[in-house]
């Protein structure tokens, strides 16, 4: 087994064609509380992955789950962050918008929907790392998801940000309504714009 990454919340390991996410114990927390929190977050993440697949979003297939560990199919692809450029931004941007729309229409908030948390393989985009995700029908929560994606685009792909963002929003609108969401995509986008303004104000 090879450790692929180690973050504040979990250790990511690769074992053949499987990837294992193991939430690490926090020594500063009371043991019972620590176990309960790790178990809860693992259960939530597993459920979100299942629900995302039901909503038509490509994710790694769940193979096994225990109290603090998730075993998934290894997607041997490249991060969207590493391949997105000025020749493919329209196709990838459209797909990102449609994917986020499907998640939000199913009331799934990813919590870290960035190009680092999407893998591309065989022209399909897989969404990974639902560790910060949760279920919500609140427009504000979905708008924050959109804002996180916008910030990721501006910071990591600034040279194409002005071109790709309208593509993403157009696909998001179309996909959101096609997915039968309970409120219009325009409400989410309007709230996103308000959050964006607040962010700009704080930067001054």
Per DSSP, the residues of 133-178 read: -EE---HHHHHHHHHHHHHHHHHH-TTTHHHHHHHHHHHHHHHHHH
Token pair, residue 189, equals 């986008």
Catalytic residue flag (residue 112): yes
Among residues 58, 112, 129, 163, the one annotated as catalytic is: 112
Give the integer Cα–Cα distance in Å for 50 and 45: 9
User: 115 CB contacts (<8 Å, ≥6 apart)?
Assistant: 79, 80, 81, 84, 96, 152, 153, 156, 157
Catalytic amino acids?
Answer: 112
């Amino acid at each position: 087994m090879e450790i692929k990454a180690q973050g504040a919340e979990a250790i990511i390991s690769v074992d053949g064609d499987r990837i294992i996410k193991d939430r690490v114990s926090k020594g500063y927390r009371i043991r019972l509380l620590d176990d309960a929190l790790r178990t809860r977050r693992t259960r939530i993440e597993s459920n979100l992955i299942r629900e995302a697949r039901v909503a038509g979003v490509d994710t790694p297939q769940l193979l096994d789950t225990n109290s603090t560990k998730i075993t998934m199919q290894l997607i041997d692809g490249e991060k969207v962050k590493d391949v997105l450029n000025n020749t493919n931004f329209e196709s990838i941007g459209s797909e990102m918008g449609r994917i986020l729309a499907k998640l939000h229409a199913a009331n799934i908030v990813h919590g870290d929907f960035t190009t680092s948390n999407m893998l591309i393989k065989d022209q399909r985009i897989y969404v990974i790392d639902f560790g910060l995700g949760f279920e919500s029908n609140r427009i504000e929560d979905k708008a924050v998801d959109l804002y996180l994606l916008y910030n990721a685009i501006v910071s990591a792909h600034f040279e194409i940000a002005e071109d790709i963002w309208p593509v993403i929003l157009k696909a998001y609108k179309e996909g959101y309504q096609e997915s039968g969401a309970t409120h219009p995509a325009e409400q989410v986008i309007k709230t996103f714009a308000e959050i964006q303004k607040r962010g700009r104000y704080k930067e001054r």
